[in-house]
């Protein structure tokens, strides 16, 4: 039995524990660099809870134990922002940003302006109020003048300090801080997975999930959601003076508030534009969603001179990225048959601009997905296209339903050849059972001829469709028997083009083993696995003869992939196609066992002069090395290009070897 300390002793220990726990919260949630184990942390927190239980009157609202949900409320109170929370003007092109810079220079009569460039976090804007360093109020932006009082909800956010840290820089008596509450992509995916299991409606994106979680009348619900915060602006602050926005951010950091790491000071608009490009390229690697870069004039006196216009400051602009989501209407749902026979339902939509291109079709994946999202013909939907990813339907906007929408079901017979459709109960997809289905043949030939495979220039979809429809080609090996006269007879193919295609087919005979393996279109064998196989075997023959054990003993080849490869080579038709390809003259250069950079891990930051990021990555991989997206102790080299990001600082902190482009070239040459 542990004895109960006197109230005075308890109060002292409580104060000590709170300081210590606050510090560890800061290390963990703000700096992302904890200095104690989870168990030690839990021990401190438990001891604090124990003492507070003994003396409930010693509990204060800023105690780390108070990061749990308070009782539910009937409705939110309102908070009037003492300084309005403005919105930002948007820019969608480089030209508009250059114009913004010109306008500022003209208004100020200056020739050079320093900007702070910050990621525009896609979340919910909030204001936090600290009195004497203690968190006392939190509110949403609302209409910019009046927001909702969400004090108890925001209190549950782990990276939101309930008490600011006193450093050399005194904490102001009153401090209003603005920032964005968001949910990480990982936590969003996890939350939706859980909601799906429990049959609850899914959130369309992390922003909706964050906003929905903050605007909960029951703070314990908010507490159960993993929210996070970045702060980026100041409201009122008593007893401190700043001359630059970057100083404000530095002070926020030193008080323990969480400031984004990807913030740059740019001494020209060109640098800011470059930062925007770099960040857009890295957007998918960040674990939170951003929809642009906010550019802010750094000097606060200049901000004051510029003032504001129609509720937006003249000194800042949101330079947006290509949107990744858009809203449109589904006109029809059609079914595509792929090379493995898989029937994929595809939404045919009103054309819409998203991710930088016009999109008319989006995949609905399979019947289970259609049912799960309850997608119907005629529905208004949110679609998403991120990077090179195939556009997909994310969610239905159910509020827009009129009652005229029609449900869709995958047919029981193949829409192309009429054969039966089979659905393995363990799989989500339905498949056409006819291996000679023209749709399957066409797709496998398209894949065979594609860039990463045999790379046959000029052999496009239209030509392939005609070749298959006329029975000129039934397997990929038939391509090598084609005669110019056969091609020249086809619709819209001039003599010269026919010769070009014949030449391209001929040229494709000289290939690499990896390309050939990939071209065969074995299920689960993408370019990477094909390369792994090519590195482990010297010939197609050797792979064909390999046992299942031999295949799965290769690093990176698991049971599912191994079985698929093994089964592919047991099929008589496949063996024949391979024999035909070889006798038609398909040859590959003996594999180069590139191992010079084996085990070496590279990270790139900033723009390289002579290579695109993807090219540099390919080179490293061809030499047996790997490329990571973030710096950790496992990394061997950090290659620094122009305008490096925070990875450089991280590499310096961890003492990892930093090299420039010239040295990188030497290493790979």
What would the x/- binding string for ligand IVH be over residues 153 to 192, using CB under 6 A?
---------------------------x------------
Pairing of strands 316-320, 90-91: parallel
Q: x/- site string to ligand IVH, residues 287 to 326, per CB under 6 A? A: -------x------------------x--x-x--------
CB of 294 to ligand IVH, least distance (A): 4
Closer to ligand IVH by Cβ: residue 210 or 627: 210
3-state SS record for 21-32:
HHHHHHHHHHCC
* Conformation bin of residue 227: beta by default, left when phi > 0, alpha when psi is -120 to 50: beta
User: What is the smallest separation between the CB atom of 130 and ligand IVH, expressed in angstroms?
Assistant: 19
For ligand IVH, give the closer residue by CB, 210 or 532. Answer: 210
The answer to whether 232 contacts ligand IVH (rule: CB under 6 A) is yes
Residues 11-48 as b or e (16 or more Cβ within 10 Å = b): eeebeebbebbbebbbbbbbeeeeeeeeeebeebbeeb
* Residue 91 in contact with ligand IVH, rule: CB under 6 A: no
* 87 contacts ligand IVH (rule: CB under 6 A): yes
**Phi (first) and psi of residue 582, to 5 degrees:** -65, -45
In which residue are the tokens 């030690």 written?
A: 40
H or E stretch at 535: helix 527-536
Q: How far apart are CA 520 and CA 447, in angstroms?
A: 8
Q: Got the DSSP string for 366-426?
A: SHHHHHHHT--BT-EEEEE--TTSPPEEEEE-GGG--S--B-----SB-TTT--BEEE-TT
Binding mask 327-356 for ligand IVH (x = CB under 6 A): ------------------------------
Q: What are the residues whose beta carbons fall under 8 Å from the beta carbon of 335, sequence distance 6 or more?
A: 343, 344, 345, 346, 410, 411, 415
125 vs 648, beta carbon nearer ligand IVH: 125
- Distance from CA of residue 615 to its chain's centroid? 21
- One of 70, 86, 416, 659 touching ligand IVH (CB under 6 A): 86
Q: How far is the CB of 177 from ligand IVH (least distance, A)?
A: 12
**Cβ-count burial of 231 within 10 angstroms (0-12 exposed, 13-18 middle, 19+ buried)?**
buried
The Cα 92–Cα 139 span in angstroms is 30
Minimum distance, C-beta of residue 343 to ligand IVH, in the bound complex (Å): 42
- Does residue 449 belong to the site contacting ligand IVH (CB under 6 A)? no
Among 79, 121, 468, 554, binds ligand IVH (CB under 6 A): 121
Question: Is 150 in contact with 212 (CB distance < 8 Å)?
Answer: no
Residue 120: active-site member: yes
The only residue of 157, 160, 164, 233 in contact with ligand IVH, by rule CB under 6 A: 233
- Asked if residue 88 binds ligand IVH (CB under 6 A), the reply is yes
Nearer to ligand IVH, 125 or 454 (CB): 125
Phi, psi angles (nearest 5°) of residue 433 = -90, -5
Q: In the bound complex, what is the minimum distance in angstroms from residue 26's beta carbon to ligand IVH?
A: 21
Q: Is residue 293 classed as helix, strand or coil in its secondary structure?
A: strand
CB of 150 or CB of 316, closer to ligand IVH: 316
Q: Which is nearer to ligand IVH, 182 or 604 (CB)?
A: 182
478 — phi, psi (to 5°)?
Answer: -60, -25
Token pair listed for 80:
């009037």
Q: How far is the CB of 276 from ligand IVH (least distance, A)?
A: 13
CB of 286 to ligand IVH, least distance (A): 13
Tokens 């299920």 correspond to 523
Query: How near is the Cβ of 344 to ligand IVH at its closest, in Å?
Result: 37
Q: Which stretch binds ligand IVH (CB under 6 A): 33-41, 104-112, 120-128, 504-512?
A: 120-128
Choosing from 53, 120, 168, 633, the catalytic residue is 120
Catalytic residues: 120
Residues of this chain that interact with ligand IVH (CB under 6 A) are: 86-88, 118, 120-121, 125, 141, 180, 232-233, 294, 313, 316, 318
């Amino acid at each position: 039995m542990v004895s109960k300390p006197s109230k005075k002793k308890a109060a002292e220990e409580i104060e000590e524990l709170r300081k210590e726990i606050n510090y560890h919260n800061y290390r963990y949630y703000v700096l992302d660099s904890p200095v104690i184990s989870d168990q030690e942390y839990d021990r401190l927190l438990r001891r604090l809870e124990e003492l507070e239980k003994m003396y409930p009157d010693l509990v204060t609202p800023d105690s780390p134990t108070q990061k749990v949900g308070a009782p539910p409320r009937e409705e939110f109170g309102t908070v009037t922002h003492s300084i309005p929370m403005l919105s930002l003007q948007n820019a969608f092109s480089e030209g508009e940003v250059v114009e913004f810079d010109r306008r500022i220079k003209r208004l100020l009569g200056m020739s050079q302006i320093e900007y702070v460039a910050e990621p525009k976090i896609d979340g919910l804007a909030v204001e936090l109020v600290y009195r004497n360093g203690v968190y006392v109020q939190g509110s949403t932006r609302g209409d910019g003048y009046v927001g909702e009082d969400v004090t108890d909800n925001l209190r549950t956010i782990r990276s939101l300090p309930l008490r600011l840290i006193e450093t050399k820089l005194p904490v102001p008596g009153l401090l209003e801080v603005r920032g964005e509450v968001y949910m990480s992509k990982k936590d969003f995916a996890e939350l939706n997975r859980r909601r799906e299991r429990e049959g609850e409606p899914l959130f369309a994106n992390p922003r909706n999930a964050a906003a929905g979680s903050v605007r909960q009348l029951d703070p314990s619900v908010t507490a159960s959601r993993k929210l996070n915060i970045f702060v980026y602006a100041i409201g009122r602050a008593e007893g401190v003076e700043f001359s630059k926005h970057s100083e404000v951010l530095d002070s926020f950091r030193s008080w323990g508030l969480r400031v984004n790491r990807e913030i740059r000071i740019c001494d020209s608009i060109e640098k800011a534009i470059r930062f925007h490009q770099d960040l857009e390229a890295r957007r998918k690697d960040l674990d939170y969603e951003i929809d642009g870069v906010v550019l802010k004039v750094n000097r606060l006196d200049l901000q004051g001179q510029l003032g504001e216009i129609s509720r937006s400051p003249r000194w800042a602009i949101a330079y947006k990225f290509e949107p990744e989501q858009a809203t449109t209407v589904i006109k029809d749902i059609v079914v595509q048959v792929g090379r493995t026979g898989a029937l994929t339902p595809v939404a045919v939509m009103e054309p819409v601009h998203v991710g930088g291109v016009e999109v008319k079709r989006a995949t609905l994946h399979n019947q289970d997905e259609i049912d799960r999202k309850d997608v119907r013909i005629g529905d208004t939907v949110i679609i998403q296209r991120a990077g090179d990813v195939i556009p997909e339907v994310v969610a239905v906007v159910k509020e827009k339903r009129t009652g005229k929408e029609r449900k869709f079901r995958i047919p029981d017979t193949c829409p192309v050849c009429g054969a039966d459709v089979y659905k393995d109960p363990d799989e989500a997809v339905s498949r056409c059972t006819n291996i000679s289905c023209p749709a399957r043949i066409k797709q496998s030939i398209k894949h065979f001829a594609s860039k990463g495979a045999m790379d046959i220039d000029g052999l496009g979809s239209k030509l392939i469709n005609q070749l298959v429809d006329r029975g000129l080609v039934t397997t990929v090996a038939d391509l090598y028997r084609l005669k110019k006269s056969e091609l020249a007879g086809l619709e819209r193919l001039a003599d010269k083009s026919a010769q070009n295609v014949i030449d391209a087919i001929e040229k494709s005979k000289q290939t690499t083993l990896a390309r050939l393996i990939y071209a065969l279109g074995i299920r689960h064998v993408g370019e990477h696995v094909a390369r792994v196989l090519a590195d482990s075997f010297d010939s197609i023959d050797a792979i064909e003869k390999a046992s299942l054990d031999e295949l799965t003993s290769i690093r990176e080849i698991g049971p599912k992939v191994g079985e698929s490869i093994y089964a592919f080579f047991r099929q008589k038709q496949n063996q024949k196609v391979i024999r035909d390809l070889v006798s038609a003259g398909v040859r590959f250069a003996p594999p180069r066992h590139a191992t010079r950079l084996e085990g070496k891990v590279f990270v790139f930051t900033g723009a390289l002069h002579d290579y695109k990021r993807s090219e540099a990555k390919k080179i490293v991989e061809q030499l047996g090395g790997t490329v990571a997206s973030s710096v950790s102790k496992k990394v061997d080299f950090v290659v620094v290009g122009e305008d490096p990001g925070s990875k450089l600082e991280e590499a310096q902190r961890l003492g990892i070897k930093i090299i420039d482009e010239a040295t990188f070239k030497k290493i790979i040459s």
